[in-house]
Chain A
Amino acid sequence: MKEWIVRLAAEIAPSGSEGRITSVLLDAVQDIADETHMDALGNAIATKRGEGPHVMIAAHMDEPGVMVIDIDDDGFLRVIPTGGLTASEAAFRQVAFTNGTVGLVCLEDGEKRPEQFEQLFVDIGAKHRQEAESRAFIGLGGVLGTGVADIGNGRLLGRALDNRVGCAIALHAFRELAQLGRYVSVVFTAQNAPGARAAQAAAFALEPDLAIVVDGVPASDVPGGKRTALKLGAGPAFKVMDAGTVAPLSVKQLIEDAADALGLTLQYEVWPGGRSDTGAIQLTREGILAAGISYPVHTAGAAEALVDLADVEATLRLLVAAVQTFGQ
């Protein structure tokens, strides 16, 4: 599992530019899936037909990033955010673009502090426009932050862990359930960070009987943490509500029963500010039964996150057990 997390986190996949990680993920399920494809919005989808109701497992594969929007005569780039990155998060950091170009995000001279992307420019070391245009183009996506570090205590820190951890869990769960002969689809969703834009298209196409979404949730056991009682290392959380969904009681019961059967302690996520794929999927077609299972992270939705591997393992077990319990 850890190897997969590290491998997936190494891919650069800002929202809307998920191309490469899509291939990595679909290659990882090709041998066991009946069919795989990428849809019009960039979702990577695999299905294995089998017994029982059709369950869709989803995890978003994109991460917040930036996109080149202008190149000037002196070879400097201007960027806009894709997803929720703020100018202050982006300033003074390295940016790695999907084509291998690397640059430094700088603040215009005379500006006191970075408040808007208009104040920032990216220096890729180009001497003039022509050189910059050979290494970057308008629409090129990039990300901030550095690779994964094992910081001990079973914890990992690094870029895109939210939600490559979810992708690794979904990948393992899909393989396990497919081997058990269940009718299961996995969707690695695109464009979650700008507002859960793609998940509903996959749900529309698959029409599952149940969808379970795996994503990170901010833990509150930090200085100034909000009163959510979510702790890192205390196990998976069931999404009771966020800005886009309230869980149906039947779904809550399903997850609680699965946790009980495994002897797992379940945490409860109430995140009024969070907008997830769960809500987008739930409101697709005539309504789809949808559950969110989350692993706690420190700093969700940012360039980098910190996770606990014990939470990750427990989230995988809970997910597999919940799918097996469903419809029995």
Chain B
Amino acid sequence: MLLKTLSEAFGPTGFEDDVRNVIRGELDGRVDEMNTDVLGNLIAVKGAKKPGPKVMLDAHMDEVGLMIVQICDGGAESGLLKFRALGGIDPRVLVSKPVLIGPDRIPGVIGAKPVHLQAPEERQKPIPMDKLYIDIGAKDAADAKAVVKPGDAAVFATRYAEFGDRAAKGKSFDDRVGCALLVEAMQTEVPYPLYGAFTVQEEIGLRGARAAAYQIQPDIAIALEGTVCFDVVGAPSHGQSTVFGKGPALTVQDAQTIADRRFAEFMWETAKRHGIPVQWRRVKGGSNDFGAIHRVGKGIVGGSISVPVRYIHAPTQVVSLDDVENAGRLLRAVLQEIAEGSFTL
């Protein structure tokens, strides 16, 4: 299953090769061409010479992760790894999590002082990132340095699994769920030029998408994202952002974009016409690649379609497979309506 393969692929920000290879393999022979640009964005193209609006679909390949910055040498710490975050990670979610490090996927565990040894005041507050370390079971620094180097990146070692009522858990659904939707969308037939941009370095500031949009110069762009969902205990309506299982979410405003109202309404009406559940994303915080894309060149019309992801940016994220499926249906419907001229530029 593609979402499982993509979710388990190794792709912390700046190290997207593994994800890119999975996508290249999936799209090989199914698109006209694929190019990797200097930043590492993979751009798949279909029907470049066709008439009509040039449409760019975007999904970022990278996931939040960790970067090894130091291999401790000497003393009791010898062989333990210090790290920093790649992207927005809450240090409270890190303790005791298994990780995989570097190109050889060296397994490690994020360690911290056990509860027995903590002073009462230590138990009251979260452990900051600079007090955490990764233990790879090395007997000393030399042992560790033989398999890990500073600059190596790490991801959570979470396996994909389906559970409950049409739910799936795994790491990196933000934004492998978008990658899966984009791989699928690139195999649909449309009468206009279709560009699929699988971008890099979204999690540290939408860095890859800008270059992708600059080289594509689309008339319309749509970012496919995993987004914040907090429809859980104690969250009032305005604190949820999105509701799990209620369909893909459309944005009116986030931290980087005030949505093009006409395009947002076009997507909303398309969902209604096609009987696809849809909801508004009801929070300002957070952003996606469209925040960078819409400001490129003369300005680009478009928006984003987001899948609600519970526990986003955490080691185990949860999506509704119905939401994923409905996001795919909405995307196909939007592409079809663009073909039929329902949205005028």
Which of A40, A43, A191, A202 interacts with B300 by CB under 8 Å? A40
Residue of chain A at shortest CB distance from B280: A138
Residue of chain A at shortest CB distance from B251: A139
- Residue-by-residue, is B244-265 near A (CB-CB < 8 Å gives 1, otherwise 0)? 0000000011000011110010
Q: A16-B261, A139-B261 are in contact. Are A69 and B238 (CB under 8 A)?
A: yes
Chain A residues contacting B261 (CB-CB under 8 Å) are 16-17, 139
Q: A118-B238, A118-B239 are in contact. Are A82 and B253 (CB under 8 A)?
A: yes
* Residues of B that sit less than 8 Å from A by CB: 236-239, 252-253, 258-261, 264, 280, 282-284, 294-295, 297-301
Chain A residues contacting B237 (CB-CB under 8 Å) are 70, 72-73, 78
A70 to B298, CA, bound (A): 32
Q: Which of A193-201, A219-227, A244-252, A297-305 contacts B (4 or more CB under 8 A)?
A: A193-201
Q: Are B282 and A70 in contact, with the CB atoms below 8 A?
A: yes
11 contacts across the A-B interface (CB closer than 8 A): A15-B258, A39-B299, A67-B252, A70-B282, A139-B253, A139-B259, A194-B258, A197-B295, A198-B295, A201-B295, A201-B299
A70 to B300, CA, bound (A): 27
- Residue-by-residue, is A183-224 near B (CB-CB < 8 Å gives 1, otherwise 0)? 000000001001001101110110000000000000000000
Chain A residues contacting B283 (CB-CB under 8 Å) are 69, 80
Q: Name the interface residues of A1-52: CB closer than 8 Å to any CB of B.
A: 15-17, 39-41, 43
Chain B interface SS verdict (over half): loop
Q: Are A40 and B282 in contact, with the CB atoms below 8 A?
A: no
Q: Are B253 and A16 in contact, with the CB atoms below 8 A?
A: yes
Chain B residues contacting A41 (CB-CB under 8 Å) are 294-295, 299
A274 to B159, CA, bound (A): 48
Chain A residues contacting B236 (CB-CB under 8 Å) are 72
Q: Chain A's nearest CB lies how many Å from the CB of B239?
A: 7
Q: Chain A's nearest CB lies how many Å from the CB of B178?
A: 22
Q: Are A139 and B298 in contact, with the CB atoms below 8 A?
A: no
Known: A82-B253, A201-B297, A201-B299. 4 other contacts (CB 8 A): A17-B261, A69-B283, A73-B237, A197-B295
Which of B253, B259, B299, B301 interacts with A198 by CB under 8 Å? B299
